[in-house]
Amino acid sequence: MKYRLYMAAAVAILIAPFFQMNSAVAADTNSSICSASAIKMQTSCNFEVKEEYHATIAHCINFSEYDERVDCRKEARETYIEDKAGCRAQKDARRDVCELLQEDRYDPDPLTDPTLAFVDPNTIGDSTMPNPYFSLVAGTTQVLRAGEDFEESIVVHVTEDVREILGVECRIVVDIVLLAEDDGEGGVDYEAVEVTDDYYAQAQVTNDVYYCGEVARNFEDGALVNLDGSFEAGRDFAKAGILIKANPWAGDAHRQEWLLGEAEDVIRYVGVTEGPPAEEGGENPNDDAFSCSMHGGCVKTEEFIPPEPESGEFKYFLAGTGFVLGVGLEDGEITGERDELVCIGDSLDILADPSCGIEDADKLREELCRLSPDAFCED
C-alpha cells in the first residue's frame, strides 16, 4: 500500500507541470496573449532576483568579520526587496504597452511578412526617396551633444555596408557615444561610452524604416563591460520592429524592436507639427535649421522601454533633417538631460567643420577609427 501511495505521489509530481502548462495555454485563449507574456516575464524577473540574492548571500558568508557579514546580508535583502518591486513595475509597464498597442501575439517578424517588401539600400537617395525622418543615404553623418551638461558627444554615421538578416539587406549605421576628457597637456582625449552597429531596412511603398537589430558594446572607464541591448531578428526569439514611420499620425504607436527582457523599445507619436515647449528647454539652439517652429513643426515622439519603466524620452524629428532634439524623462517628469543635433553632413568630412564644435577633429577621427575601423578608417 505504501509503495502505491509513493508511486501515486511521484506520478502527481511528474505530471503537475503538464497540467500547469495546459492551464496556461487555456488561460492564453481567454485573455490577452500580450498580458500573459507580461506576467511570465515578471515570473522570470523574480527568479533572476532570487538567484542574485542567494549568490550575494554566498559571498556574504565568506567575509571573516561578523559586522561585514551582517552589513552584506542587510544590503542583499534591501536590494532583493527593491528589485522585486522593480519586477512588478516592469509587469505593469508591459501591460500598459499591451493596452496601448492593443496587441495580441507579436508575430510574424516584419522582415518575413509576405505582404512587405524592402528596397535595395544602395538605391536610397538615388531612385528611392529616403525616409524624411531617418535617412539611410550612405555617408550621412550627424554629430550630437548629450547629457545634463552635454558631457557626451555622439557621432552617427550611415555606412556603405549592409548585413543580410532574414533575407533582407539592412544598412549598417554606426552610433558612437564618447566622453571628451582633458589629456593633461592642454588637449583632449575621447573615451568610448557605447559603440553600436545598428541594422536598418527601408520598406517599399511606405518608406518606413525597420529596425533589424544591433550590436551594442557598452564601456566603463574605457573598458568593454557588456553587450546589453544587442539583438538580431531571427536569433533567440528576437524580431524586428519599425524604427520610425515616414508618414506617422498623432496617437499612433508601435514596437521598434522585440526581444523580451533585452530589446523592447516602444514609440508613440505625440504629434506631427510640434515644437519643444519652454518646460522642455525649448528649441535646439545650435542652428536655426534645426528649429521645429521655424520649419512648420516637428514630429514629436515619446519613446520608452518597459524593462526600465521609470525612464523615457521625448524626441523631435524634422522632415528632411531627421532627429534634432531629445528630452529625457523620469517618471513622466523632465530630467534636464537633452540630446541636441549639432551638425549634419553627407560625409565624415563634416567632423572637421567648425559648426560641429569638435575640439580636436583629427584625434576624434583616430579614436573613431580605433573603435570601428570598417566605418571610420580611411582607405
Contact 240, 110 (CB under 8 A): yes
Which pLDDT value is given to residue 186? Answer: 81
One domain, residues 91 and 163 = no
Say whether both 81 and 192 belong to one domain.
no
Q: CA-based Rg of the chain, rounded to a whole angstrom?
A: 24
Q: What is the pTM of this model?
A: 0.89
Domain's final residue, options 78, 101, 124: 101
CA distance 269 to 254: 9
pLDDT score, position 232: 98
246: in domain: yes
Do 209 and 242 meet the contact criterion of CB atoms below 8 Å apart? yes
Q: What is the pLDDT of residue 88?
A: 97
Report yes or no on 72 lying in a domain.
Answer: yes
Asked whether residue 185 is assigned to any structural domain, the reply reads yes
Question: Do 278 and 362 lie in a common domain?
Answer: yes
Evaluate whether residue 1 is within a structural domain.
no
Last residue of a domain, one of 101, 123, 140: 101
Same domain, 123 and 72: no
State whether 329 and 257 are in the same domain.
yes
Residue 312 domain-assigned (yes or no): yes
Burial category of 26 from C-beta neighbours within 10 Å (exposed 0-12, middle 13-18, buried 19 and up) = exposed
- Asked if 50 and 143 sit in the same domain, the reply is no
Q: Are residues 207 and 305 in the same domain?
A: yes
Residue 200: how many other CB atoms lie within 10 Å: 24
Q: Do both 182 and 97 map to the same domain?
A: no
**How remote is the C-alpha of 239 from its chain's centroid?**
14
| 201 falls within a domain | yes
pLDDT for the residue 222: 87
Q: Per-residue pLDDT tens for 121-143?
A: 999 999 999 999 999 999 999 99
Intervals of the chain under pLDDT 70:
1-31
Q: Do 157 and 306 belong together in one domain? A: yes
Half-sphere exposure of 92 (CA within 13 A, CB side): 8
Instruction: Identify whether residues 74 and 118 lie together within a single domain.
Output: no
Question: How far is 277 from 268, CA to CA, in rounded Å?
Answer: 18
Rounded Cα distance between 300 and 274, Å, is 6
Does 252 share its domain with 295?
yes
311/302 Cα distance (integer angstroms): 11
pLDDT for residue 187: 85
**Which of 68, 83, 101 is a domain's end point?**
101
pLDDT of residue 185: 84
**Domain span holding position 63:** 31-101
Same domain, 238 and 322: yes
Whether residue 359 lies inside any domain: the answer is: yes
Sign of the CA dihedral 37, 42, 47, 49? positive
3-state SS of the chain is: CHHHHHHHHHHHHHHHHHHHHHHHHHHHHHCCHHHHHHHHHHHHHHHHHHHHHHHHHHHHCCCCCHHHHHHHHHHHHHHHHHHHHHHHHHHHHHHHHHHHHCCCCCCCCHHHCCCCCECCHHHECCCECCCCCCCCCCCCEEEEEEECCCCEEEEEEEEEEEEEECCEEEEEEEEEEEEEEECCCCCEEEEEEEEEEEEEEEECCCCCEEEEEEEEEEEECCEEEECCCCEECCCCCCEEEEEECCCCCCCCEEECEEECCCECCEEEEEEEEECCCHHHCCCCCCCHHHCCHHHCCEEEEEEECCCCCCEEEEEEEECCCEEEEEEEEECCEEEEEEEEEEEEECCHHHHHCHHHCCCCHHHHHHHHHHHCHHHHCCC
| Residue 11 lies inside a defined structural domain of this protein | no
> What is the per-residue pLDDT for 317?
98
Q: Which amino acid is at 80?
A: Y
Instruction: In whole angstroms, give the CA distance from residue 196 to residue 177.
Output: 9
| pLDDT, position 2 | 42
pLDDT tens, 326-369?
Answer: 999 999 899 999 999 999 999 999 999 999 999 899 999 999 99
Number of domains in the chain: 2
What pLDDT score was predicted for residue 183? 82
pLDDT value at position 18? 38
